[in-house]
Amino acid sequence: MAELHLHDVSVRFGGLQALAEVNFSLMPGEIVGLIGPNGAGKTTVFNVITGVYSASGGHVEYNGENLTGLKPYQVLHKGIARTFQNIRLFQNMTALENVMVAQHSRSSCGVFGAIFRTPTQKREEARIKEKAMEELRFAELDEFADEVASSLPYGHQRRLEIARALASEPSSILLDEPAAGLNPAESSELMETIRKISERGINVLMVEHDMKVVMGICQRLVVLDHGVMIAKGNPEEIQKNPAVIEAYLGN
Amino acid sequence: MEYFFQQLINGITLGSVYALIALGYTMVYGIIQLINFAHGEFFAAGGYVGVIFMSYLLSQGAPAWVCLSGSLILAMAYCAMLAMAVEKVAYKPLRSSSRLSVLLSALGMSIFLQNGLMLTQGVYDRAYPTELTQGGFEFGTVMLSYMQLFIVSLTAFLLVALNFLVFKTRIGKAMRSTAQDKIMSALVGINSNRIISLTFAIGAGLAAAAGIMVGLYYGSVRYDMGFVPGIKAFAAAVLGGIGNITGAMIGGFIIGMVEIFAAGYISGEYKDVFAFLILIGVLYFRPSGIMGENVDDTRV
Amino acid sequence: MKRSIMTALLVSAILMLSAGMVFAKTLKVGTMGPLTGPYAADGNDIKNGVLTAVEVVKANGGIPGFDDIEVMPQDTACEPRQAVATANKLINEEANGVVGAYCSSATLPASEVLDEESIIMITPASTNEKVTSRGLPYMFRMCGRDDDQGFIALKFMQEKLGAKSVYIVDDKTAYSQGLADGVEKMCEAAGIKVLGHEHVNQGDKDFSAILTKVKTSNPDVFYMSMQNSATGALMLIQAKRMGIKAARLAQDAVYHPQLMEIAKDAAEDVYLTFGYIDNNAPAYKEFYAKYQPKHGEPGAYSGYAYDSAMAYFKAVKAAGATDPEKVKAELMKLDYDGATKHIKFKPNGDSGSNYIIRKVENGKFINYWNPATGKLY
C-alpha cells in the first residue's frame, strides 16, 4: 500500500508561478480528484510528480522516499504510472505492443539476450506477452490486440492508454482527464474501469472536468486555482465551499 | 546478357555497402532527428580497427575464418563504443538545444574524428590482407568473387538480424516507442538516453562491418574513406525515407544499382549525376522518400 | 647615478640583442603539396624530399650567409583555391623560394601568384605542359612533361606490345585527364583503335562497372591515367578480380611503393611510364641513405623534390643572396648530376623529360624498356 505526499510543492516558469506551495496526500486505496478551472496547474502537478518538471520549491515523497531529481522512467520504477489528457499512444504500434512496451522496466535481459534469444529471454517475452494480454482483457480490449493503435475508436484508445499504464504494475496511477471526449456510455464504462483499478489496490489520482465522473467515484477532492490550493475535502464539502464556487463561477 | 548479369552482381555488392551505412543514418535520424555527419567516420574507424586486428591475427597464424570473424566482431564493438562516446560528448548535452546546434556539433565531430584518424594512422593508404579473399566462381565470362558473395551474404544476415531486433524484440519496441514519443516512452518506464545510446551503437556497428567489407573488397583503407560513401549512404537514406529502416535498405541498393548501371551503360563520368537525379526525381514525387511517412511504422 | 648606469646597461643589452637578430639570417623555403586528402601521400613525399635536402646541406656546412634554413610546408589539398591561399601565405611569411606543388591543377594557379612577387618556384611533380608554356620567368620544373610521357606510352604500345587496340580510363583531374586525352589523340593518329575512354570520379572506390566494360571490349592494352597510386592500386585489384587479361599501362602518378603494398600480386607485370632514375648513381645513393631511415621508401616524387630543393640551394649559394634575378641566373647555369637526373634547365624552365618504361616484377619496380634504343634494360 503506497502513500504519495506533496510537501509545499512550488513550480516557477521564469516569472510565472505555476504552483505555489501545494500540499496534499494520496493515501492507500483512495481515488482522489484534482480539479480546478483551466490553467489552474493540474497537469503541472502531474508533471512534477512524474519527474517531467522539477519543483522549484518543496518536494514529492512516495512511500517515504523523496522523488526530487528522479527522471520520468525512474519515477515509474518507483510505481507511479500516468496517462495523458491528449492521448499519447505509440500510434504506429499495435495495441498489444503498446502495452508490452510499458513492461520494459520490468524485464531484465539486455541487448544480447534480445538478439540471441536466450532461453531466459524467451521465457521473459512469453511472460510479458501474457501479462500484456491480461491487461488488455482487464480493459476489455483483448479482441483488438493486433490492431494498430491509431485505428482504434477514441474510447478504446483511452482505455488502451490506461491498460498501458497498468502494465508497468504501478502502485499509483495518475489519470489526466480520462473522460475528455467520451460519450455518456463510454464515461460510465470508464468509471467502472477506474473502480476496478482501485479494487486492485492501486491508488488513483485523477484530473477531470466532467463533474458527473468526479462526483461519482472520487472519495476526496483537491481544488487548485491559479496554482494555489484553495480547498480539499469530500465531494459534498467541496460542492458547498464558497471559495470553490467563486473560482468556478467568478464574482 | 552476360554483361548485364555482371553489372547486376557489381550493383548488388556496392548497394550492400551503401545499405549498411545508410541504416546508421536513418536509425539515428529516426530516434533524435539528427543527421549524424560523423557516421561516415565510424565506417572508416571500423575499417582501420579491422585491418589492424586482422593483420595481427594473421601474423599469429590464425586461420582465415578466425581473422575475418574476430576482426569483424572487434571492429563492430569498438565502433559501437566510439559512437556511444560521441553521442555522450557531442550530442547528449545539446538534446534540448536547437537542431542546428546539434547538426553543427555533428559536423565538428566528423572533422575531429577524421583528423584523429589521420594523426594516429597517417595519411597513407593502409593495405588489407587481401590474400584471405581471393578467387571466385565463373559462369561463362560472369565473375562472382568469393568476396562479393561474402559481402552480400553478410549484409543480408545483418539486415535480417536488425529487422528482427527492431520488430520482434523488447529492445526494438523501446526503440520504436522512443522514436515516436520520447516523453511518453520515459513515462512508461523506458530510459530513453540508454535507448538513444544503443541506437547509435547499433548504427555504428553496422557501419564498422561495412568498413571491413570495403577494406577487404577494395584492398585498402584511408583515413578519409568515410566521406564519399557517407554522402552516398545519406542520399540512400533520404531516398528510402529518412528514419525508415526498410527504406534505407532499399535506398542503398537503388543508389548502388543506379551508379553501376549508369557507369556500365552510359558513362562512368556521370554515374553520380544519375544517382542524384534519381534522388531528386523520387523526392519530387514523394517528398518523404520511397518508404517515408505512409508506412512509417517501420520507423526507429 | 646608479640608476642611469643600470639604464645604460639595459639599453645596450637590448641593442646588442636586436643587432644579433638582424645578423641572424634564415633562408625560408616553402613546400607545397597535398598534406591531407586523397593525395596526402604524394604531398608528404615532396615535403620529406625537401627536408632531406636541407639535412644534407646542413650536414655539409650549410649555405654561407645564412644561419639557418627553414622549411615551411603548406597543404594545398590539391585544390586550386587552397593552392592560391597557401601561395599567399608563403608570400606573407616572406618565403624565398618554393618547391611544389604536386597536382598540376594546384601548381598552375599558385605559380601565377608567386611569380607576381618574383618568388622562384620549382615543381618536382606537375607534368602538365602548361606549367612551363605560359612564359612565367620564375617557374621551373624538375620532372618531365605529359606530352613526352604520352608519346613514350604510345611508342611502347606500338613497338614493344604491338598493340592494335586500347581502352583508356582516367580520373578526371587536369593532369590525369590531360594525359589521357593526349594518349587518346596520339593512339588514333597512330592507328591504334581506342575502344573506349572512360572516366571515374575522385574518391571512388568501386570501379567494377567500368572494368566490366573494359573486360567486355577486350583491348590489347588497358591504359590507366590515375592521379595517384592508391587509386591505381584499387583499380588493379579489381581488374585482376574481374579477370582482365590486357596489358596494363599506367603513368608517373601511379608510380609509388604504395602500389605494390596495396595491390600486392595484382600489381605484377604492370607497366608504367616514369623518368629514368639510376639507383646506383652516387647522388641517388646519398639521397636514399638519408631519406629511407627517416621517411621509409621514397615515393614517386621524393627524389625530384630533393633535387628541386638541392638545385635551389646550390643557386642561392652561388648567388650569395636570395635576390630572384641572381638566383635565376645561377639556376640556369646549373649543370650537374642530381639524384634523379642530370640537371640542366632549358630557357623555358623545363629540365627535360627522360621517360622510360618501368615494370613491376616480384613486387619491385624495375627499369624495363628503353624507348631511345627500343631495347630492354
- Give the helix/strand (H/E) hosting A222: strand A220-225
pLDDT at A40: 84
Is the confidence at residue C39, as pLDDT, over 60?
yes
pLDDT at A181: 85
For residue C6, is it within any domain? no
Domain ranges (residues) in chain B: 18-226
Question: In this complex, how many residue pairs, one in chain B and one in chain C, have their CB atoms less than 8 Å apart?
Answer: 113
Mean pLDDT estimate for chain C? 90
Q: Which amino acid is at C142?
A: M
**Tally of CA atoms within 13 A in the half-sphere of B42 that contains its CB:** 35
Instruction: Please write the tens of the pLDDT for every residue from B70-98.
Output: 999 999 999 999 999 999 999 999 988 88
Residues C112 and C210 in one domain: no
Q: Which domain holds residue C290?
A: 22-144+279-354
Q: By a Cβ cutoff of 8 Å, what residues of chain A touch chain B?
A: 50, 52, 71-73, 76-77, 81-82, 84, 88, 90-93, 97, 100-107, 109, 111, 114-115, 124-125, 128, 148, 164-165, 167-168
Instruction: Please write the tens of the pLDDT for every residue from A158-196.
Output: 899 999 999 988 999 999 999 888 888 888 888 999 999
pLDDT, mean of residues C314-321? 92
Question: From the CA of C244, how many Å to the nearest CA of chain B?
Answer: 11
Instruction: Please write the tens of the pLDDT for every residue from B209-248.
Output: 999 999 988 888 999 899 889 999 999 999 998 888 889 9
Residue C64's alpha-carbon distances to A79, B179, C27, C316, in angstroms, are: 86, 71, 11, 9
Number of independent structural domains in chain C: 2
Instruction: Please state whether C362 falls in left (phi above 0), alpha (psi between -120 and 50) or beta.
Output: left
Which residue in the set C35, C201, C263 is minimally distant from B272, CB to CB? Answer: C201
Asked if C222 and C247 count as a contact pair (C-beta separation under 8 A), the reply is yes
Residues C159 and C230 in one domain: yes
Residue C12's alpha-carbon distances to C8, C9, C16, C293, in angstroms, are: 6, 5, 6, 47
pLDDT at C360: 95
Question: From the CA of B223, how many Å to the nearest CA of chain C?
Answer: 9
C37 touches chain B (CB under 8 A): yes
Interface of C with B in 262-321 (CB under 8 A): 262-264, 266
pLDDT at B298: 46
Residues C238 and C370 in one domain: yes
Which residue in the set B186, B297, B299 is minimally distant from A73, CB to CB? Answer: B186
Beta-carbon separation of B170 and A125 below 8 A: yes
CA distance C258 to C264: 9
For residue C130, is it within any domain? yes
Residues C339 and C263 in one domain: no
Is the confidence at residue C20, as pLDDT, over 50?
no
What percentage of residues in chain C have a pLDDT greater than 70? 94
pLDDT, mean of residues B50-72? 91
Which residue in the set B3, B10, B259 is minimally distant from C216, CB to CB? Answer: B3
Asked if C254 and C267 count as a contact pair (C-beta separation under 8 A), the reply is no
Residue C337's alpha-carbon distances to A156, C59, C278, in angstroms, are: 93, 20, 11
pLDDT, mean of residues C98-103? 92
Enumerate the residues of chain B whose CB falls inside 8 A of the CB of residue A97.
173
Is the confidence at residue A106, as pLDDT, over 60?
no
DSSP string, B3-15: HHHHHHHHHHHHH
Beta-carbon separation of B225 and C205 below 8 A: yes
Question: In this complex, how many residue pairs, one in chain A and one in chain B, have their CB atoms less than 8 Å apart?
Answer: 90
Residues C126 and C247 in one domain: no
Q: What is the CATH number of the domain that holds C190?
A: 3.40.50.2300
How far the first Cα of chain A sits from its last, in Å, is: 42
Do chain A and B touch: 3 or more Cβ pairs under 8 angstroms?
yes
What percentage of residues in chain A have a pLDDT greater than 90? 34
Strands C355-361 and C364-370: antiparallel
CATH of A1-79+170-251, one of 3.40.50.300, 3.30.70.1890, 3.20.20.100, 3.30.60.50: 3.40.50.300
What percentage of residues in chain B have a pLDDT greater than 70? 97
pLDDT at B296: 44
pLDDT-wise least confident of A34-43, C143-152, C233-242: A34-43
Beta-carbon separation of B138 and C230 below 8 A: no
CA distance B151 to B16: 7
Locate all alpha helices (DSSP H) within B60-169, ordered by sequence: 64-86, 99-121, 146-168
Instruction: Please write the tens of the pLDDT for every residue from C151-167.
Output: 999 999 999 999 999 99
B81 touches chain A (CB under 8 A): no
Torsion of Cα atoms, C64 then C67 then C68 then C69, to 10°: -30
Instruction: Please write the tens of the pLDDT for every residue from A45-102.
Output: 999 999 988 888 899 999 999 998 898 888 988 999 998 888 888 888 999 999 998 8
**Quick one: closest CA in B to C214, which residue?**
B264
Please tell me which chains touch B, using 3 or more CB pairs under 8 Å as the contact test. A, C
Mean pLDDT estimate for chain A? 87
Beta-carbon separation of C208 and B141 below 8 A: no
pLDDT, mean of residues C55-83? 92
Residues C128 and C108 in one domain: yes
Residues C209 and C163 in one domain: yes
B296 touches chain C (CB under 8 A): no
Is the confidence at residue A116, as pLDDT, over 70?
no
Enumerate the residues of chain A whose CB falls inside 8 A of the CB of residue B185.
90, 101
C76 touches chain B (CB under 8 A): no
pLDDT at A110: 59
Beta-carbon separation of B143 and C213 below 8 A: no
Asked if ipTM goes beyond 0.90, one says: no
Domain ranges (residues) in chain A: 1-79+170-251, 93-168
pLDDT, mean of residues B99-117? 93
Mean pLDDT estimate for chain B? 89
For residue C251, is it within any domain? yes
pLDDT at B295: 43
Question: From the CA of B287, how many Å to the nearest CA of chain A?
Answer: 20
Residues C32 and C169 in one domain: no
For residue C7, is it within any domain? no
Task: Name, in order, each residue with C-beta under 8 angstroms of B285's C-beta and a sequence gap of 6 or more.
Answer: none
